Amino acid sequence: MIQLGISAFYHDSAACLVIDGKVVAAVEEERFTEIKHDYSFPTNSINWCLKDTGISMEEVNEVCWYEVPEKKKQRVLKSFAKRPIRTFFKRRKFLKEYKANNPETLLKENYGYKGKIKYIDHHLSHAAFSFYTSPYKDAAILTVDGVGEFETVTISKGDEKGIDKKLSIDFPHSLGMLYSTITAFLGFKPNEGEYKVMGLSPYGNPNTYYEKLDQVFINVTSNKFEIDQGYFTWEYSDSIMFTKHLAGLLQLAPRLPEEPVTQEHKDLACALQNIYEREFLKLVERAKLICNSDNLCLGGGCAYNGVANNKAYKYFKNIHIPFAPSDAGSAIGACLVAYLGPKHTNITPYLGNHYTDEYIQGVLEDNVGKVSFLKLDYEVLLKRTASLINNQNIVAWFQGRMEFGARALGNRSILASPTNAKMRDKLNYTIKKREGFRPFAPSVLNEDVHKYFDANEAVPYMNQVVKVKETAKNLFPSATHIDNTARIQSVTKQRNKKYYLLLQELKRVSGHGVVLNTSFNLKDQTITRTPEQAVTRFINSDIPYLVINNYLIMKK
């Protein structure tokens, strides 16, 4: 059974190939176009998945689409109908795009595909990706995002019979949209800058704006909430997300992107994070009561909020957040829920491009005037790299298959010592050229997690923010945020052997199996996909060393 999964036309377009329930290839369209969160039809991703697996479109048994377009159309037109004059031209534009973006037409025109297409509800795709990549036989499943077809929140029970939805909240009442709107109000790009707001929040005082921002909630019950649409334009605008009334409510002018970040902005970010956590944990508690399970699976774009995720342990013993909980992962989720055979535990995020030594050698020889390189034995390379990091050098690390999802998990990473307090500023200002308040994540040997961090269990995908232990908070200043937290990645030999052995070697030379890990990209770039990109970005940056497979590369 060969399935092609696709997500497109909102954000994070992606494609995957699933054979007999096993994910064999997956990639996001942005990695090819270099447009962050690219939402276009993922032609490049589809082509790569087919080529990588050696499968032709004629062999695909079914295409699984991550949402139901007709239901989404109904929701949009219903919203426009509330303001027919204001939305007249938007309605015409939407209907034109809806016709052009018809999956059947696109697949037929681009690939000659006339086979079966299964349309899976958006939040069911989220829920399936989370549940069917977890180790659990039963779980409560909570999905939270901006909006699917109609739903913004769902609570479902997952077990061996399948996924049974128990509760939902519909648009326009959306925690995800609220978080994105305040992200935009703070001068950051929605659907991208939410990470910045979460990183900014510990610098603020929530009390400054908490009561004011809380006034957007109306008709709150133990099960659901509603959001006063007088402050927002979600139903009729795809550009500005808020009205002048929001600025009046907050008594704060919206920040322009080029303006400095003030204490007021930090306070608003903190209030938002606190209110989001409050409502999120109400949903978590409700999921516990409805589903009566010790296990929780989280899905949807809001599952990237690692600070809130970790607090769900108040109600659940075990928590699983998949490696790509946003719309990209829903391309996989749509396939997994549609597949009726035995379920596999698809745990690996390493599903993208990979290259042979011969190919890499050719790329390096093409740049011989700009770089010098050595090909080292496996063990020698690990020792040399660990020594470089321990001696306070920054190393770009390019290995094996590219990660699927927003996190670099040790195959497309920039690595540095977490023990140097100046390293954070060096990476933020000199290498990544981004805001100085942005935190960095530590990767840690799985067996050493509890030595340094207050983690309840393994965190393989860097999607929980945990407290750094008192005994360790001064050990890793560049990977510890201002509130003494860290967004950790626990690394095992089973999941990523080479990265695990590098951490072991780093532990041998430094005493700690911990490394600062950030994605291999520079300002406004997508994560590095190819050796050509890796070498070019290396040359154009202040990174002193690059490792691709077993090649150690230096600038001339």
Tell me: pLDDT of 425 over 90.
no
pLDDT at 438: 81
Residues 312 and 393 in one domain: no
Give me the CATH number covering residue 408: 3.90.870.20
Banded pLDDT at 440 (limits 50, 70, 90): confident
Cis, bond preceding 172 (omega within 30 deg of 0):
yes
Query: Which among 408, 401, 405 has a CA at the least distance from the CA of 352?
Result: 401
Residues 246 and 112 in one domain: no
In a domain, 525, yes or no: yes
460 Cβ partners below 8 Å, 6+ apart?
A: 323, 347, 409, 489, 490, 491, 492, 495
Residues 290 and 334 in one domain: no
Asked whether the beta carbons of 327 and 182 are under 8 A apart, the reply is no
In a domain, 352, yes or no: no
Tell me: pLDDT of 228 over 90.
yes
Amino acid identity at 372:
S
pLDDT at 436: 76
Region 451-475: mean pLDDT is: 94
In a domain, 463, yes or no: yes
Q: What is the pTM of this model?
A: 0.95
Asked whether the beta carbons of 249 and 243 are under 8 A apart, the reply is no
Q: What percent of the chain is helix, strand and coil (3-state, nearest 5)?
A: 40, 20, 40
Residues 432 and 550 in one domain: yes
Helical segments of 324-427, H only: 327-338, 357-366, 378-390, 423-425
Q: Provide the 10 A C-beta neighbour count for residue 37.
A: 20
Query: Which among 424, 376, 395 has a CA at the least distance from the CA of 551?
Result: 376
Strands 545-548 and 395-398, by their bridges, are parallel
In a domain, 288, yes or no: yes
Query: 84: exposed, middle or buried (C-beta count within 10 Å: 0-12, 13-18, 19+)?
Result: exposed
pLDDT at 197: 96
Residues 366 and 514 in one domain: yes
Residues 313 and 334 in one domain: no
Chain-centre distance for alpha carbon 122: 17
| Through-space distance between the first and last CA atoms of the chain, rounded to whole angstroms | 51
Residues 273 and 376 in one domain: no
Residues 299 and 174 in one domain: yes
In a domain, 146, yes or no: no
Q: What is the largest CA-CA distance in the chain?
A: 69
In a domain, 152, yes or no: no
Tell me: pLDDT of 451 over 80.
yes
Determine phi and psi for 527, rounding to 5 degrees: -60, 140
Residues 118 and 176 in one domain: no
Residues 116 and 187 in one domain: no
In a domain, 347, yes or no: no
Query: 492: exposed, middle or buried (C-beta count within 10 Å: 0-12, 13-18, 19+)?
Result: middle
Q: What pLDDT, in 10s, does the model give residues 92-134?
A: 999 999 999 999 999 999 999 999 999 999 999 999 999 999 9
Q: What pLDDT, in 10s, does the model give residues 298-331?
A: 999 999 999 999 999 999 999 999 999 999 999 9
User: If DSSP codes are grouped into helix, strand and coil, which group holds residue 198?
Assistant: helix
pLDDT at 473: 82
Give me the CATH number covering residue 90: 3.30.420.40
Chain-centre distance for alpha carbon 119: 23
pLDDT at 435: 81
The arrangement of strands across the sheet holding 22-28 comes to 22-28, 14-19, 2-7, 62-65, 116-119
What is the total count of domains within the chain? 3
In a domain, 437, yes or no: yes
Tell me: pLDDT of 342 over 90.
no
Banded pLDDT at 23 (limits 50, 70, 90): very high
Banded pLDDT at 437 (limits 50, 70, 90): confident
* End-of-domain residue from the set 272, 305, 338: 338
Strands 489-491 and 395-398, by their bridges, are unpaired
* End-of-domain residue from the set 338, 366, 396: 338
What is the rounded distance in angstroms from the CA atom of residue 9 to the CA atom of residue 38? Answer: 9
Token readout for 447 is: 């067996």
Residues 305 and 334 in one domain: no
Tell me: pLDDT of 366 over 80.
yes
Residues 406 and 508 in one domain: yes
**Domain ranges, residue 371:** 357-555
Share of the chain above pLDDT 90, in %: 92
